[in-house]
A and B are shown apart, each in its own frame.
Chain A
């Protein structure tokens, strides 16, 4: 019994760790998609963030500098996306795919050029990374059964960026629904003409949404390479940007539902890792590839109208012409 509890706890703990970059990228996706810009480039921004964070941390020995530069890298990628599809009204999907390809190639080339390790960056010592934070009173709580281990495993003992990601969710909801910027952002994704006619610049509004998204992806990238991991490995984003985008769609472009989608996808991933090689009762061994495909299958089912009804922002994907 206790062993089962412990196993579940570990699974939840893993879920949270896996879901952290998904949450950050999903919130980024919500910002840009709610403003009317398709953001398939989450993946590329995440990858660039991861590379820059690890590189800067390795070169300067400062995790904070790594994080800052990762944010700048994410923003830079966003600005390229914005320049192509806001300023020049290009196709948003094409621009997004281009950014993903660019990030994938550039991180490898620069990685090899800088460190000559086949695209990897050097392993960072513990001090140069964001390490787990032990919360106050963990030892004391340990004596309490059940709650003690929940406190130690699930609540305490994560690195700072996990908590940042968790905070990001209510913060995104607050910005979206309670602030002037949020009202305008939601409006511009639905009826950009209405925003223009109200005397607000559609262009600047959409750029700001993309910049916010870029920053969040940068943080997510830093989490991968200098918090969860200790160096950059090529293609280390491994489709997480796409999964985050699936979570945005699955969550109907709303912060909290997208957050739960991230947790669900994270949980599936955590369970997959644990189930590998196990024979399940009646079913037998489940191929891990199938489990990995589940987020995409669910999203396709959702988009096809089998689970509820997705309601994307009305103006998404369309450049604004006066």
Chain B
């Protein structure tokens, strides 16, 4: 049979990094093919080669049995390849329609092609249930809507092969389900879908076949029906992986961290947090669940001192902070709070700085940076080497800029820095977003170890499974309000789901 897409012996290096080594891949028409692999395994590189954004050093690509030379994205588009990249490729200042028209304007002036483009856009959005306002500015759209625009862009030329590089990383579970419905319709229309994701449940739920990559190599191809998440995780990481950590019961001690009547109103006067009350004791993890965008970000940022409180009191290890007090991340940190921010790229790391400098970010006044007024780079180097070894950061090169580490390893740098300061209270936001299963296992183990060492941990995550497997008690946020706090033992998906939709705890159980 002829494959919709077939790769043979594809290799690609970036300088010394061998991102793809002799990759073979075959995808049948009308199927959903998953690709999994650790952070930095070379998945995006391979997809970019198929889509013509990168050129392979060697190897061949065939579409429908015909070998083709893909020299640019224009070639790939012409051969019916569409791609949704790992990071959005949208012009925020343009309307949805303009973004969709870019590259296929249909004439020298825009007025010539506008009507047909609009027609095409509405056609696609009705057939595949990709609802979006063509005239809205992209900067006004939320991530779910932006994702839909990306899919419309990828499909506009009548794509026969659709590549989706971690499309669900930024989506809520509901949005992800919606996306999968769309993919199924596309498959039934004969489109071949290539789906990259770190979530093995998604692979099991939706794909027909799956390929596994490790360190630039293709280590296996499986029929989804003949494999298991455990099997896939092992192939991916090269060793046995615990998909769910075993959690021993917590032994909570004194209250270390609490909030009373906490509220936050933003500069436009919108109330984003209202009347939040909770306590976290030493040696326990309080999980915060909720559909993303229900105040989690604001909660983390007010607690970490990045946003001012509007009302209420936070008590940190006996020190009270109210709206009258000046706060800053610095002040909060000095009280003994560690913070792993939700968005590691904007708040956790300085991407252009070296790993060793990122390893002392926020601690640059402490002895980690040397005892004198000037930076002592040998101390900084030593500090980074120690932490990289302890937290298994790869590659363990303190001089590499943060941006050159894969997502999982960037997260490990942040975790290494915050954990080693031995915080009395730890705020953790989305610790495993975009991180592979091996790294997830590691991060989860570390969090539980820190808990058992007596730290009070507040964990915010939109992954319900993560909250359920780590937290001792779970607080649910809906619309900036605390719907209720329940014990993890009593929590199940349906109860939490109802609470996330705003039903009070008593009514939900």
Q: Is the CB of A191 within 8 A of B76?
A: no
Interface residues of A in 182-234 (CB under 8 A from B): 182-184, 186-187, 190-191, 193-201
Kindly state whether residue B94 has any CB partner on chain A within 8 Å: yes
Closest to B48 in A: A322
Interface size on B, residues (CB 8 A): 34
Chain B residues, Cβ within 8 Å of A200:
74, 102-103
Complex Cα gap A184–B73 (Å): 15
Q: Is the pair B92, A190 in contact by a Cβ cutoff of 8 Å? A: yes
Q: Is B67's CB within 8 Å of the partner chain A?
A: no
Q: Say yes or no: is A88 at the interface (Cβ < 8 Å to chain B).
A: no
Question: B110: which of A178, A193, A195, A199 is its contact (CB, 8 Å)?
Answer: A178
Query: In whole Å, how far is A322's beta carbon from the nearest beta carbon of chain B?
Result: 6
With A187-B94, A314-B92 already in contact, 4 other A-B pairs whose C-beta atoms are closer than 8 Å: A178-B109, A186-B93, A191-B91, A197-B83
Assuming the contacts A191-B90, A191-B91, A197-B89, asked whether A178 and B111 have C-beta atoms less than 8 A apart, the reply is yes
Q: Does B64 contact A (CB under 8 A)?
A: no
Residue of A nearest to B102 (CB): A198
Residues of A within 8 A of B111 (CB): 178
| B-chain residues with CB within 8 Å of residue A314 when the two chains form the complex | 92-93
Quick check: is A179 within 8 A (CB to CB) of the other chain? yes
Can you name 14 A-B pairs with beta carbons within 8 Å? Answer: A180-B105, A180-B109, A180-B110, A183-B101, A186-B94, A187-B94, A190-B94, A191-B92, A194-B99, A196-B53, A196-B73, A197-B83, A197-B85, A199-B103
Decide yes or no: A183 and B102 within 8 Å by CB, A178-B111, A194-B89 being known contacts.
yes
Give the Cβ gap from B46 to chain A, nearest Cβ, in Å: 15
CB distance from A71 to the nearest CB of B (A): 22
Report the minimal beta-carbon distance from B374 to chain A, rounded to whole angstroms. Answer: 29
Given contacts A199-B103, A200-B103, contact A194 B72 (CB under 8 A): no
Q: Which of B76, B99, B108 contacts A199 (CB 8 A)?
A: B76
Interface of B is mostly: loop
The 4 closest A-B pairs by CB, nearest first: A198-B103, A199-B74, A180-B105, A199-B73
- For chain B residues 464-505, which have a beta carbon within 8 Å of chain A? none
A193 to B113, CA, bound (A): 23
The answer to whether B105 and A197 touch across the interface, beta carbons within 8 angstroms, is: no
Complex Cα distance A314/B90, Å? 12
Contacts of B24 in A (CB 8 A): none
Instruction: Give chain B residues whose Cβ lies under 8 Å from the Cβ of A181.
Output: 108
The A interface is mostly helix, strand or loop, or mixed, namely helix
Query: Restricting to B337-378, which residues have a CB under 8 Å from any CB of A?
Result: none
Min CB–CB distance B98 → chain A (angstroms): 6
Is B72's CB under 8 angstroms from A180's CB?
no
Contacts of B87 in A (CB 8 A): 193
Bound Cα distance from A244 to B91, whole angstroms: 27
Say yes or no: is B107 at the interface (Cβ < 8 Å to chain A): yes
User: Number of contact residues on A: which range applies?
Assistant: 20 to 34
B109 and A187 form a contact (CB under 8 A)? no
- From 278 to 322 in chain A, residues with beta carbon under 8 angstroms from any chain B beta carbon are 314, 322
A-side interface residues toward B, CB under 8 Å? 178-184, 186-187, 190-191, 193-201, 314, 322
A198 partner residues in chain B, CB cutoff 8 A: 73, 77, 102-104, 153
Interface residues of B in 101-141 (CB under 8 A from A): 101-105, 107-111, 113
Which A residues lie within 8 Å of B53 (CB)?
A: 196-197, 322
Instruction: Return chain A residues, CB-CB under 8 Å to B54.
Output: 322
When distances are taken between beta carbons in the complex, the residues of chain B under 8 Å from A196 are 53, 73
Q: Which residue of B lies closest to A201 (CB)?
A: B72
Query: Which residues of B are found within 8 Å of A322, using beta-carbon distances?
Result: 53-54
A195 proximity list for chain B (CB < 8 A): 102-103
Q: How far is the CA of A198 from the CA of B90 in the complex (A)?
A: 10
Bound CA span A314–B104, Å? 23
* Neighbour of B91 across the interface among A190, A199, A201, CB < 8 A: A190
List residues 20-52 of chain B with CB under 8 A from any CB of chain A: 51-52
Closest to A187 in B: B91
CB distance from B475 to the nearest CB of A (A): 38
Partner of B98, one of A183, A191, A199, A201: A183
Contacts of B104 in A (CB 8 A): 198
- Residues of A within 8 Å of B153, CB to CB, are 198
Please tell me which one of the listed residues B75, B90, B102, B109 contacts residue A184 in the complex, with CB atoms under 8 A apart: B102
Residues in B whose Cβ lies below 8 Å from that of A184 = 102-103
Q: Are A179 and B109 in contact, with the CB atoms below 8 A?
A: yes
> Is A193 a contact partner of B109 (Cβ separation < 8 A)?
no
- Nearest B residue to A197 by beta-carbon distance? B89
Using an 8 Å CB-CB cutoff, how does the interface string of B50-90 with A read, 1 for contact, 0 for none? 01111000000000000000001111111000010101011
Chain B contacts of A193 at CB under 8 A? Answer: 85, 87, 89
Shortest distance in angstroms between B195's beta carbon and chain A's nearest beta carbon? 18
Which residues of B lie under 8 Å from residue A194 when comparing CB positions? 89-91, 99, 102
Q: Which of A180, A187, A314 counts the most chain B CB atoms within 10 A?
A: A180
Please, which residues of chain A bring their CB within 8 A of the CB of B83?
197
The contact string, 1 if C-beta is below 8 Å from chain A, for chain B 365-400, is 000000000000000000000000000000000000
Which of B89, B92, B113 has most chain A Cβ within 10 Å? B89
Smallest CB gap from B111: residue in A: A178
Q: How far is the CA of A180 from the CA of B98 in the complex (A)?
A: 10
Q: In the complex, A178→B112 CA distance in Å?
A: 10
The chain A residue with its CB closest to the CB of B76 is A199
Q: How far is the CA of A194 from the CA of B98 in the complex (A)?
A: 12
Q: Which residue of B lies closest to A184 (CB)?
A: B102
Q: State how many angstroms separate the Cβ of A83 from the closest Cβ of chain B.
A: 21
Is there an interface contact between A183 and B105, defined as CB atoms closer than 8 Å?
A: yes
Complex-state Cα separation, A197 to B98, whole angstroms? 15
Q: Which residue of A lies closest to B74 (CB)?
A: A199
Q: How far is the CA of A181 from the CA of B110 in the complex (A)?
A: 9
Query: Which residues of A lie under 8 Å from residue B51 when comparing CB positions?
Result: 197
CB atoms of B91 and A179 under 8 A apart:
no
In the assembled complex, the CB of A139 is this many whole angstroms from the nearest CB of chain B, namely 41
Closest A residue to B75 by CB, please name it.
A199
Complex alpha-carbon distance, A191 and B101, angstroms? 15
Q: Which residues of A contact B113 (CB under 8 A)?
A: 180
Min CB distance B427 to A, Å, is 31
Q: Which residues of B contact A197 (CB under 8 A)?
A: 51, 53, 73, 83, 85, 89
Q: How far is the CB of B346 from chain A (nearest CB, A)?
A: 15
A191 to B89, Cβ gap below 8 A? yes
Q: Is the CB of A199 within 8 A of B90?
A: no
Which residue of B is nearest A179, CB measured? B109
Least CB distance, B76 to chain A, in whole angstroms = 7
Closest to B98 in A: A183
CB distance from A179 to the nearest CB of B (A): 5
User: Restricting to B249-268, which residues have a CB under 8 Å from any CB of A?
Assistant: none
Q: Closest CB of chain B to A203's CB: distance in Å?
A: 11
